[in-house]
Structure 1
Amino acid sequence: MAARLGHTIKAVLFQVHSIAGLVLALLVSLIALTGATMSFEDEIVDHLNAGIMQVAPRQAPALMPDELVARLKTAQDLGKVAAVTLSSDPSAAVHVRFARDEQGGRPISLYVDPYDARVLGAPRAEAFFATVRRLHRWLLIPGDGKGWGRPITGTIALGLIVMLVSGLVLRWPRRAGSVKLWLKPNLGLSGRGLHRSLHTVIGTWVLPVYLTMTLTGLFFSFAWYKDSVTWLLARPHVAAAKMPAKSPRAAGRGEPASPIGFDRAWTTFQREEGGRFSRALLTLPGGRGAVIRIRSWGKESSLETTRDEFRIDAVTGQLVSAERYADKTFGETIIAAIYDIHRGEILGWPGKLAFMIAAILMPLFSVTGILLYLSRRRLRRPAQRPLGRLVPGE
């Protein structure tokens, strides 16, 4: 009875695995390949733009961010500045990013000389990687993160989890002695046997990587998933603080009468951090409010997630909140590192390389899965006698 029940369950799981694979094969491969393309984006962009990311250090003090932005706007009309990245390194250029225009497009960013606001150039490959990122996250569906692309890619991730779990159950070894065969592909086979060996064995190797990618990717797709992870891993007051922050001044009076600038927030940040930071990203609020968000990385920081985050009232210069990486609990560091875990960077460049290779292999499972499905269809097709051999009456 138990054996029959187990056989039935596996038969159902096999159908679920096959149907999900056929439906999602192309989209899963597309998302995986675009993710692989972005694996070493930072290193590629830095290499291509090394000539415009550095300046000759001078004795004169660097411009304050508002003066730099004002000079930049005077030189050429480039749209509204949304964020600037400043550095404690006197030889580092300032990176200026712009807000979306009325058509929803975002102008390309610029590197600017911090001493005289001279435009050094636009980063090469930025537009390419921006398109790849939109394809990876939202399938280029209009609306980007606010459109249908986000829930669609999230649903694809859920479907991939179903395929991974069902495939693992179907592959589970019946005997301990069969583990070697379970993990070693038989390259001496051909046809259907080879396809099955590659699909199942290599799939077993990369299954932990794919589960990591999908479980962390869901964090960026569904608010309910992100809220659940935050509730589970973060302290209650930290989870509550994840809500969009507004200063009391902004909440009571609405948007400031005049455009807000960076200077007061930057001055407060420098007073708080001193010389401990290596670079800081200052982002203006997207809507109502006067609170500027500042993300800063220490001089010894090697990961994107090992950052401090400050919220400062741009009108008064008052520090609204300070979230330091060193003060996080273990669970909160996991939340902060979700993106680095998702791309394997938490393990350094070997981790990124391993995740990239696993992502590149995704089309292998799509192709071998489809070939296995087609071969099963041929095997199940009833044999027909040739028409030329039929006799009268048949």
Structure 2
Amino acid sequence: MKKLWFQLHWFVGITAGTVLMVIGLSGATLAFREQILDALNPGVRTVAVQSAPVLAPQQFALAARALKPHERVTSIILYDTPGSSARIGLAPAPGERKGETIYLNPYTAALLPELKYEGFFEWTEQLHRFLLLPRDPGKMVSGVLAFCLMGLALSGLYLRWPRRVWDWRTWLTFDTRMKGRSFLWGLHSVAGTWVLVVFMVFTVSGVYWAFDPIRDMADGWMGTLRPPREAAAPKPKAAKPPKAEPADLTPSWTTFQQTAPNWQMAFLRPPERANAPLQILWVAKDAPHVRARSSMAINMQTGALLKSELYADKPVGARLQSTIYPLHLGTYFGVVGQLIVFIAALALPGFGITGWMLYLNRRKQKRIARAERAQFAASALAGLVQDDPVLMAYASQTGQAERLALQSAAALQKAGVAVHVHSLEKLTLPQLGKYRRALFVASSFGEGEAPDSARRFSRLLHAAKEELQHVQYAVLALGDRNYAQFCGFGRTLDQRLSFMGAQPLHPMIEMDNGDAGALARWGNALRGLMGEGAADAGEVTLSAAADDSDYVSWRLDQRVLLNPGSIGFPLYEITLGGDIGDGWRPGALVDIWPGHYGVDATPRRYSLASVPQDGSLQLVVRQVQCERGLGLASGWLTDQAAIGDEVRVRLIANPSFDAYPQPAPAIYIGNGSGIAGLRSHLRARVLEGAQRNWLIFGERQQAHDAICADEIKGWRAQGFLPELDLMYSRDVTGGGYVQDCLQQRADTLRQWIADGAVIFVCGSLQGMAGGVDDALADIIGRAQLEQLAEDGRYRRDVY
């Protein structure tokens, strides 16, 4: 669901958002319209304050008639502010919507200069309200755009909704030291949160004005709906009566001043008929906003007050309706409100620009990925028409072997050698037998085992009776010398191929954690296959590490000790904030490059404990202590880094521990910090509504090591954990290990597997993972367990 909203957010953002940039710019231009006009037109709407008394409306009316003898005065606007000019509105010419406004000196009634540049702001207002379209279709388009802005604001809020809702820093701050896409995302998302309320005001008011049915409905709720006007019956034309002299405004003005001594603005509407009452709208000095208007009706002949309605006495709905326009302009909160509206309106183009930059960056990354895939697809196609292609096969658990295999294939292809790239997950022995030359890049898993994706091929290879005397091969074995069976699977592969008669092109190369020397030797082995193309290919450059451009900057937002008082090493939940981007799959991994490392270090890898919907990247990190002190990565994350520090991050897909592609029951088994990978899966399952889950998790003592206990209890109470076993091995009341639990619940386990359950194992290799593997093999048989692995129903992330 979140991915769908993400796609909708970007689609609307790069379509309607582009037009909203125009509306934002025009809105920002109009935010201080009155102040700008006054600054550009000194001496028009305000004049120098004099000691003489301000003239009365009747004097302004007479002066306007003398200046414009053929025009009818339709309004007189006066302000109690010293030096404010009188504004006289004249009737529009036939076919026009708006008449001329002239300004008169408040002390002499002399005509003041025409207000310049007002036409520009009127044009800008038409652009802002109707996009320069005819009024009715322009209103509709503006209304649709208002709905789009509302959708962008609300979907953006949903997409960045953090797990820790009450942490204000997560909502309102981001690390300004970030660069590139991370900086753009932080600016885009955090700025969106800052202006969210203002945008909602924009959208609600825009929709209210754009669609008459919505406006009528809202007015009905507020009790301000005007009854529709009935068409008047045509009347016979009568002779036009002689023009009557307009009535004197003096008695009415005297009554107004006596009734409203605290007026600040008065809007007089002289009637067309001399015997009709004078209508006055006015705003008090202590009014809450500029549209908080009271009204009067006064007999022009006698000065008698016919009707008076104070703003404070109006129904709540009418007062609410009057705030819509001031809220939209920001004038409800004075100059501060106008400034907020100005910034928010100006932010719309900013969101459009950053949104486009993020979108183009994503497109660029996808193009690069497509180009890389196409490169090797072209290589495979070329191999169909070229003789003697080289097989480049890889066995990868977390992607490093695949990366090196692709780099190696690219180097060979550049030298003109046809290459077919295959994962051992799908490779069969008959396929292998079709090649004369085969190169293998093989990682080891756990204590020298084959990666889960290569277990089927390993089993087939050991059971095969094929002869491979015609095959020449080379093996690059990847491993870690911290494990007893260093490069175990690579060694087994090399030995088995040799036993089957295959001839080595080059002695097996063992690489310890990206060792540059081993990579150089592998590069030399590749050059031996290039023949005449070696000179054209140049130097073979391989790197086991990801490019620096693959890393993005996140920030350390929070760390929480999960096991206070534990006899084990401290276990922390680490929360990082940054660009969620396209997100990640459950079970994904992350490489962390701590801030105090040099450029030549190897990054540390952790299982992700969160899902993209959490709005943050969460890890569960055990603080490692050794002779030289705290572990380099764990010590930095759990103790040395300050909150807010930059963290270089690379998300890594983990297909062998990804969610099963079809709906199925799921069994989650782990211990210690292995809760991270299990928690990401369970959170995803809860979001999907998948309820048949079984968690088997082990730690030391329940009193101190009940990790994520509240979250697990919540899942249990909601029905998402119908089976739950928590094992505490050091409790005096008797405990045990997760593998013991499997033996105790063997019958239930067999039933779940029979129902199609997928088994996920995450945690320490020593003890737990091996014990679980043995227990599962004992319960269902080694052959069935191997079949589960081949079918993708036995998935592991152990370390």
In the alignment, what sits opposite 1:156? 145
More helix by share: 1
| Structure 1 contact 71–117 (Cα < 8 Å) conserved | no
Task: Give the counterpart of 1:195 among 161, 172, 184.
Answer: 184
Distance of 1:301 and 1:177 partners within structure 2: 36
- Structure with greater strand percent: 2
Match of residue 71 from structure 1: 66
In 1, Cα distance between equivalents of 2:113 and 2:23 = 31
Q: How many angstroms does 1:153 deviate by?
A: 1.0
Alignment CA distance shift 1:178-1:223 (3 Å): same
Q: What's the secondary structure of 1:326's corresponding residue?
A: helix
**Post-superposition shift, 1:21?**
1.1
1:295 maps onto 2:281 in alignment: yes
**1:194 CA drift (Å):** 2.1
Of 200, 213, 220, the residue aligned with 1:224 is 213
1:296 alignment partner, SS class:
strand
Indicate whether 1:169 and 2:161 are aligned: no
In structure 2, relative to structure 1, the CA distance for the partners of 1:60 and 1:141 (3 Å cut) is closer
- Are residues 252 and 280 of structure 1, via their aligned partners in 2, closer, same or farther at CA, if it must alter by over 3 Å? farther
Matched residue type, 1:328: K
Structure 1 residues 85 and 199, CA gap change in structure 2 (3 angstroms)? same
Alpha-carbon displacement from aligned partner over 1:337-383 (angstroms, at most 9, x marks no partner)? 11111122222222221221121111111111112222222333322
Per the TM alignment, residue 113 of structure 1 is displaced from its structure 2 partner at its CA by: 3.6
1:340–1:254 distance in 2 versus 1, CA, 3 Å: farther
Shift, 1:221, TM fit: 1.9
Cα distance in 2 for partners of 1:221, 1:301 equals 28
Question: Which residue in the other structure is 2:347 paired with?
Answer: 361
Aligned residue runs from structure 1 range 90-239, under 5 A: 92-102=84-94, 104=96, 106=98, 109-113=101-105, 117-142=109-134, 144=135, 147-176=136-165, 180-234=169-223, 239=224
Match of 2:267 in 1: 281
TM-score, length-normalised on structure 2? 0.41
Aligned to 1:120, what secondary structure does the other structure show? coil
| 1:22 partner amino acid | I
3-state DSSP of counterpart to 1:21: helix
What CA distance in whole angstroms lies between the structure 1 residues aligned with 2:37 and 2:148? 33
Paired letter, 1:171: R
Q: Aligned-pair distance for 1:293?
A: 4.9
| Aligned residue number for residue 75 of structure 2 | 83
Secondary structure of 1:297's counterpart equals: strand
SS where residue 361 of structure 1 aligns? Answer: helix
Written as runs of structure 1 = structure 2, the 5 A alignment for 1:51-66 is 51-52=43-44, 53-54=46-47, 56=50, 58=52, 62=56, 64=58, 66=61
Deviation at 1:303, TM superposition (A): 2.6
Equivalent of 1:271 in 249, 255, 276: 255
**2:33 pairs with 1:38:** no
Deviates more, 1:113-122 or 1:64-73: 113-122
Matched, 1:379 2:365: yes
Paired residue type of 1:97: G
| Counterpart code for 2:3 | A
1:16 aligns to 2:5 (yes or no):
no
What amino acid sits opposite 2:175 in the alignment?
N
Specify whether residues 191 and 254 from structure 1 end up closer, same or farther in structure 2 by C-alpha distance, changes over 3 A only: farther
Deviations 1:15-51 (A, max 9, x none): 2212211221222111122222222223333444452
For structure 1, list consecutive stretches of 5 or more residues without a partner in the other structure. 1-8
Q: Deviations over 1:306-347 (max 9, x none)?
A: 221346798999978644212024443221111111122222
Q: Which moved more, 1:349-358 or 1:258-267?
A: 258-267
Q: Which has the higher contact order (CA 8 A, sep 6+)?
A: 1
Q: What does the per-residue CA deviation read over 1:61-85, in whole Å, with 9 as the maximum and x for residues that have no partner?
A: 64615423321214xx6x5544321
Using the alignment, how far apart are the partners of 1:213 and 1:223 within structure 2?
Answer: 17
Shift of 1:121: 1.6
Q: Which protein shows a greater Rg? A: 2
Q: CA deviation at 1:207?
A: 0.9
Name the residue aligned to 1:5.
none
Query: Greater shift after overlay, 81-90 or 255-264?
Result: 255-264
The one-letter amino acid paired with 1:15 is: Q
Q: Secondary structure at the match of 1:96?
A: strand
Rounded Cα–Cα distance in structure 1 between residues aligned with 2:215 and 2:156: 26
Say if 2:55 and 2:108, in contact at 8 Å, map to a contact too: no
Q: Distance in 2 between matches of 1:84 and 1:134?
A: 25
CA 223–375 in structure 1, closer or farther in 2 if over 3 Å, else same: same
SS of corresponding position for 2:125: helix
Take 1:195 and 1:269, find their aligned partners in 2: how far apart are those partners?
59
- Identity fraction in percent: 30
Distance 1:342 1:266, change over 3 A: farther
DSSP 3-state at the match of 1:281: strand
Unaligned runs of 5+ in 2: 387-799
Alpha-carbon spacing, 1:70–1:169, altered in 2? closer, same or farther (3 Å) = same
In structure 1, distance between residues paired with 2:151 and 2:245: 48
> TM-score, structure 1 length as denominator?
0.77
Question: Partners of 1:119 and 1:206 in 2: how far apart?
Answer: 44
What code does the residue aligned with 1:95 have?
R
Count the aligned residue pairs.
369
Distance 1:244 1:280, change over 3 A: farther
1:3 maps to none
CA separation of 1:84 and 1:179: change in aligned 2, threshold 3 A: closer
CA shift in 2, pair 1:20/1:320, >3 Å = farther
Within 2, Cα distance between the matches of 1:148 and 1:291?
A: 38
Deviates more, 1:290-299 or 1:148-157: 290-299
| Cα 1:61–1:105 shift into 2, 3 Å | closer
